[in-house]
């Protein structure tokens, strides 16, 4: 059964580890993440962007697939199904479809409008027992058409949003979506410490988890980050696994063209990436 992310993130914040949000893009992705979470006794958050939602046939399709897999694969660890970088309209749609967690990304609005819209979503999520993530200071890079310049969030603005009663808060600290450029300056830990001091016990979220060095990940967790999002790294490992299979000519041998065989190396590559991240984040055996 799907659960809110609230309890798993509060436990993570108190225990000084982070829960991974792994974005899903199809059946292989979903199955790989769920099985790896179960094998490592780790709580997990399945992230779905609005673009991935359309690609997979709509939010109700995704809810049906995830709930079906949880039952059929005997997944007993806590699983939250979460909208990633949701618009106001997208947030309402996933709530109706049966998601257990929502991100409303109002970072591109003025702080006043971000507050007003976040308040409206909070009313609904609280009534239904769902977790809610809000964002202050847009995350750099691009994810499914959502572009952010990589702002450093203002701690006072973070406090205004946190005080509304959100479950978790994403705050820009120099992190970006996608691959990090060679001249990337790294995470701004002075800003993160200020945000932590301003927001108290609200679990913080680090977007753009792909490519951040291990020591920075661990320092971010020590400063209140309880949720780390990974998407690009799984995409890269999936693509590499499938590419090697095809380049080796295995798709031309026997029934190697069968999608169950063709996509299997990508599936295994995702599992390996997710396991590696769960170990780094410290969520293994925390279910």
Residue 237 has which token pair? Answer: 């490992």
User: At CA 5, angle to CA 47 and CA 147, rounded to 5?
Assistant: 35
Coil, helix or strand at residue 95: helix
CA-CA distance, 162 to 170, in Å (whole number)? 10
For the chain, how far is it from start to end, CA to CA, in angstroms?
Answer: 14
Reported as half-sphere exposure (CB side, CA atoms, 13 A), residue 47 has a value of 25
User: Is the separation of the CB atoms in 241 and 177 below 8 Å?
Assistant: no
Alpha carbon of 148 to those of 162, 201, 209, 260, 276: distances in Å?
A: 21, 26, 15, 37, 27
Half-sphere exposure of 280 (CA within 13 A, CB side): 23
215 is catalytic: no
Angle at 24 between CA 147 and CA 246, to 5 degrees: 100
Whole-angstrom distance, CA of residue 239 vs CA of residue 193: 36
Matching residue, tokens 């995702």: 270
Q: How far apart are CA 77 and CA 147, in angstroms?
A: 33
Catalytic residue among 84, 112, 154, 251: 84
CA distance 15 to 76: 21
Enumerate the active-site residues: 84
């Amino acid at each position: 059964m799907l659960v809110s992310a609230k309890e798993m993130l509060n436990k993570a914040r108190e225990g000084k580890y982070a829960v991974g949000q792994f974005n899903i893009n199809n059946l292989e992705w979903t199955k790989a993440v769920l099985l790896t979470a179960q094998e490592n006794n780790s709580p997990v958050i399945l992230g779905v962007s609005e673009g991935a939602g359309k690609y997979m046939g709509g939010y109700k399709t995704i809810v049906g697939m995830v709930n079906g897999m949880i039952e059929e694969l005997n997944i007993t660890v806590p699983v939250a199904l979460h909208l990633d970088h949701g618009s106001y309209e997208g947030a309402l749609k996933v709530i109706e479809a049966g998601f257990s967690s929502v991100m409303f990304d109002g970072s591109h609005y003025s702080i006043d409008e971000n507050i007003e819209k976040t308040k409206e979503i909070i009313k609904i999520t609280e009534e239904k027992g769902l977790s809610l993530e809000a964002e202050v200071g847009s995350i750099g890079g691009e994810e499914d058409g959502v572009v952010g310049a990589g702002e450093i969030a203002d701690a006072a603005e973070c406090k205004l949003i946190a005080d509304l009663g959100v479950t978790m808060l994403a705050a820009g600290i120099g992190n970006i979506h996608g691959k990090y450029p060679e001249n990337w300056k790294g995470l701004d830990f002075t800003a993160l410490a200020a945000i932590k001091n301003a927001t108290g016990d609200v679990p913080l979220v680090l977007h753009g988890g792909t490519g951040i060095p291990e020591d920075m990940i661990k320092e971010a967790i020590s400063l209140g980050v309880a949720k780390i999002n990974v998407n690009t790294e799984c995409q890269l490992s999936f693509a590499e696994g499938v590419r090697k299979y095809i380049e080796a000519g295995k798709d031309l041998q026997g029934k190697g063209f069968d999608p169950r065989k063709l996509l299997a190396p990508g599936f295994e590559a995702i599992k390996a990436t997710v396991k590696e991240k769960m170990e780094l984040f410290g969520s293994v055996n925390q279910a």
